[in-house]
Amino acid sequence: MVKEYTYSSVGVNRKLRAIAKRALLSLRRTYDYSPHGKVIELPFGNVFPIYGEYYLDFVIEGIGTKVLLAQLAEKYNTIGVDGVAMAVNDVIRSGAKPLAITDNIHLQVSAPFLIKELIAGIHKGACEAECPVVGGEIGDVAEVIKGLKEDKGFDIVVSVVGEVAKEQMILGRNIKPGDVIVGLRSSGVHSNGISLVRRVLFKKWGGKYDPYDIPEGLEREVIYEVLEPTRIYVKPLLKTAKEVKMKAAVHITGDAYLKFERLTQFSKGIGFQFNNFHPQPIFELIKKTAADLGGVLTNEEMFKTFNMGWGFAVILDKSDADKAIDIIGKEGVTAERIGHITDSKGITIIYKNHKIILK
């Protein structure tokens, strides 16, 4: 029997997670405690008023099992970039400018070298986001965290608060058929789908390669390809938002292109079609290696799990698309039209001359 590689098969059950998240609805009762006015619900989070027409967007994010790859490679000076990126890229979805970062580093042992390397990554990410790190915590929790290497277990959680004026908020509303989806190029797999990547690519977890193998199609060791830090989109997104009206902004992370469905709760009667993909070689390697191991990893699952070359996306009126692409490009990030809004429900991917229905 052919083994099918899916996110669920490696322990991330989307259906179960969706059911579990229903518990979050009870937290809406706490919105009444907002001291300065009504909490505004957005497609990918909420903002709350702080003074006048200004709102705060507060996000907390982790890095997931990518920390295990840092431990496998004994390379710890880039993983902090991922922590910052995951948080600041979420904050800017509302149009908010990151104001301050705090971090929580839990370790098996507070080894000075390890902490120095982790902080180096956080520092680099904060500089890229142009956001100060104003506090944090380092905790020894050896009974909770065990590392692949002796005394090298750790986890990083990063929180970010951002500020946005109500008139500049990206609401996810008034999206209409014909609007254009512009994708911003990713740096690789980023920090999502790593549980699946590990099971397929690395012998440590039942995959094919040793960490320092250079498979055909890659120009460097596979471990370093996967450890490439998540791209930070703060500067290109905020610069573009000053010049162009953005209807929605999507950080293409967990659940990948399924995330766009969330927008249908705020703009009714729409669907999505994507038709422009040229993913980095690492994505083709993941799919091919699954086959080499006697399994199958479908294109459908790839688009439900990975960014496939686009780490962030914005939705705009088609008349604004070229201007947005130009501004983003001047900020050093490749941007292209990757799809459009349709008048039929669902998420459709056109890839290698095949149509894939995600939803």
pLDDT tens digit at each of 359 positions of the chain: 667 888 787 777 778 888 888 898 898 999 999 999 999 999 999 999 998 899 999 999 999 999 999 999 999 999 999 999 999 999 999 999 999 999 999 999 999 999 999 999 999 999 999 999 999 999 999 989 988 877 889 999 999 999 999 999 999 999 999 999 999 999 999 999 999 999 999 999 999 999 999 999 999 999 999 999 999 999 999 999 999 999 999 999 989 999 999 999 999 999 999 999 999 999 999 999 999 999 999 999 999 999 999 999 999 999 999 999 999 999 999 999 999 999 999 999 999 999 999 97
Tokens 């290696």 belong to which residue?
289
Of the candidates 61, 136, 137, 124, the one whose C-alpha atom is nearest the C-alpha of residue 92 is 61
What is the pTM (predicted TM-score) of this model?
Answer: 0.95
Q: Would residue 5 be called left, alpha or beta, if left means φ above 0 and alpha means ψ between -120 and 50 degrees?
A: beta
CATH T-level assignment (fold) for domain 34-168: 60s Ribosomal Protein L30; Chain: A; (3.30.1330)
Q: Report the SS3 class of residue 303.
A: helix
The predicted pLDDT at position 347 comes to: 97
User: In this predicted structure, what is the pLDDT of residue 267?
Assistant: 97
How many Å is the Cα radius of gyration of the chain? 20
pLDDT score for 1: 62
Residue 54, SS3 per DSSP: strand
Residue 20: the pLDDT is 87
All structural domains of the chain with their residue ranges: 34-168, 180-357
Which is it for strands 3-4 and 295-296: parallel, antiparallel or unpaired?
Answer: parallel
Phi/psi region, residue 346 (left: phi>0; alpha: psi -120 to 50; beta: rest), is left
180-357, superfamily in CATH? PurM-like C-terminal domain (3.90.650.10)
